[in-house]
Amino acid sequence: MTDDWKAGLGWGDDFAAALAPHAEKGLEPARVTLVYRKQLKVLSRRGEHWARTGGRILHKAESAEDHPAVGDWVAARVPDEGEALVHALLPRRSAIVRKVAGHQHAPQVIAANIDFLLLVMGLDLDFNPRRLERYLALSWESRAKPVVVLNKADVCDELEFFLEETKAVAPDAPIHVVSALEGRGLDELSQYVGRGKTTAFLGSSGVGKSSLVNRILGVELQATGELKDDGKGKHTTTTRELIVLPTGGALIDNPGLREIQLWDADEGLTRAFDDIAALGKGCRFSDCRHQQEPGCAVQAALEDGTLADDRYEAWRQLERELAALEKPKRGAPETKRRDRVGHGKRR
Ligand X SMILES: Nc1nc2c(ncn2[C@@H]2O[C@H](COP(=O)(O)OP(=O)(O)O)[C@@H](O)[C@H]2O)c(=O)[nH]1
**Interacting residues with Mg ion (CB under 5 A):** 209-210, 237
What single-letter amino acid sits at 52?
R
Q: Which stretch binds Zn ion (CB under 5 A): 74-82, 166-174, 277-285, 317-325?
A: 277-285
Residue 181 sits in the site that holds ligand X (CB under 6 A): yes
- Contacts of residue 322, defined as CB under 8 A and 6 or more positions apart, other chains included, come to 262, 264, 265, 266, 269
Of 12 and 256, CB closest to ligand X: 256
Please give the residues from 184 up to 203 whose contact with ligand X meets the rule CB under 6 A: 203
- Contact of 65 with 342, CB cutoff 8 Å: no
- Contact of residue 270 among Mg ion, Zn ion, ligand X, none (CB under 5-8 Å per partner type): none
- Transcribe 32-65 into DSSP letters: EEEEETTEEEEEETTEEEEEEE-HHHHHH-SSGG
With respect to Mg ion, which residue has the nearer C-beta, 209 or 215? 209
Counting contacts by CB under 6 A, is residue 118 touching ligand X? no
Q: Specify the stretch interacting with ligand X by CB under 6 A; choose among 77-85, 176-184, 241-249, 282-290.
A: 176-184
The nearest distance, CB 224 to ligand X, in angstroms, is 3
Residues 342 and 93: their CA atoms lie apart, in Å, by 6
149 touches Zn ion by CB under 5 A: no
Contact between 231 and ligand X by CB under 6 A: the answer reads no
Q: Check residue 256 for interaction with ligand X (CB under 6 A).
A: yes
The half-sphere exposure of 217 on its side-chain side, counting CA atoms within 13 A, is: 24
CA dihedral 314, 320, 324, 325 (to 10 degrees): 50
Judged by DSSP in three states, 161 sits in helix
Note whether 206 binds ligand X by CB under 6 A.
yes
8 Å CB contact between 302 and 178: no
Contact between 151 and ligand X by CB under 6 A: the answer reads yes
Contacting residues toward ligand X, per CB under 6 A? 151-152, 154-155, 179-181, 203, 205-211, 224-227, 233, 236-237, 256
